[in-house]
A = this chain, B = another copy of it.
């Protein structure tokens, strides 16, 4: 695998035009954080000073801006999007291929080629791992897990048994996939009896899962995360949930068990979604907002956090009045 790329190769990859050929770069960076082997981008006049002083060897920019730049450039229509597209190119090229001698891999695991398995990673019995997969140090992959090709599991992740993960997924450090769902039946004596959690978690392709996020396995049926779903850090997804294609969920959100969320939804940070409900496609839920009922019509937006900052003294007045609201003798 190459360590970097030349300007003409990159221009061709992006469908852009290179001002200079044979300029070699090996890392992506901001204009200000660049080194002599960086490629960066310029999109916004507020970074003009950074453009003029950058060490970056190549800058991706718009045709209009090419005169601002002294060094090599690649000209494209949307420099930011172009830069984003380079991410995969560079990431793939930088991944090392190594199965660390201290990894613990069950002998019956089926492993693809070009793998990285970090130190003290554990791969259980009957696991299947596709080509070009990265499994970080100290991660634990349970028995019978399937991981598709080109997926990245960061360090200290737990994938419990029987979970299925598609291609091109990225699972950040400390995520827990396939943990036992929170299901208990109350016995007459008042104590709680655990309900067997024997379902799976099925994750599609191109799914991203954030750091320390938890996704429970289904009780009897499966928890399903469809293709293209993006989940941020510290999100909780309960057992038997289903998350539709390309839905995006920001950090600290919680989705209680057995809830089905449609495609292309946008769920803000710290949003709370009740269990056993259905949310239509294209729903937008603002950060911090609670959803307690089905959302039947697609494309609606829901909010219940204040659109202004509430000073403590004002809230004391408002909340005092709220307490009396609707009282008969009021």
Q: Which residues of A contact B (CB under 8 A)?
A: 27-30, 32-33, 80-81, 83-88, 90, 100, 102, 104, 118-120, 122, 136-138, 140, 142, 154-158, 160, 170, 172-174, 176, 179-180, 182, 184-185, 190-196, 198-199, 206, 208, 210-212, 214, 216, 220-222, 228, 230, 232-234, 236, 238, 245-246, 248, 250-252, 254, 256, 264, 269-270, 272, 274, 284, 286-293, 295, 300-323, 325-327
Contact = CB atoms under 8 A, between A and B. Distances in A.
B304 A286 contact: no
Contacts of A238: 251
Contacts of A173: 140, 158, 160, 176, 179
Contacts of A305: 272, 290, 292, 304
A78 to B, nearest CB: 9
Given A28-B198, A30-B198, A252-B254, 12 more contacts: A33-B220, A88-B194, A100-B104, A120-B122, A138-B138, A182-B233, A191-B228, A210-B214, A236-B251, A286-B312, A302-B310, A320-B326
B317 A325 contact: yes
Contact of A184 (B120, B184, B230, B303): B230
Contacts of A160: 154, 173
B293 A319 contact: no
Nearest to A187: B81
User: Considering residues A170, A179, A196, A216, which has the most beta carbons from chain B within 10 angstroms of its beta carbon?
Assistant: A196
A84 B264 CA distance: 36
A300 B81 CA distance: 40
A174 B174 contact: yes
B293 A196 contact: no
A32 B221 contact: yes
A310 to B, nearest CB: 5
A252 B233 contact: no
A308 B293 contact: yes
14 contacts: A29-B198, A84-B194, A119-B122, A138-B138, A158-B174, A172-B176, A179-B211, A182-B250, A190-B264, A192-B230, A192-B246, A214-B233, A270-B270, A272-B288
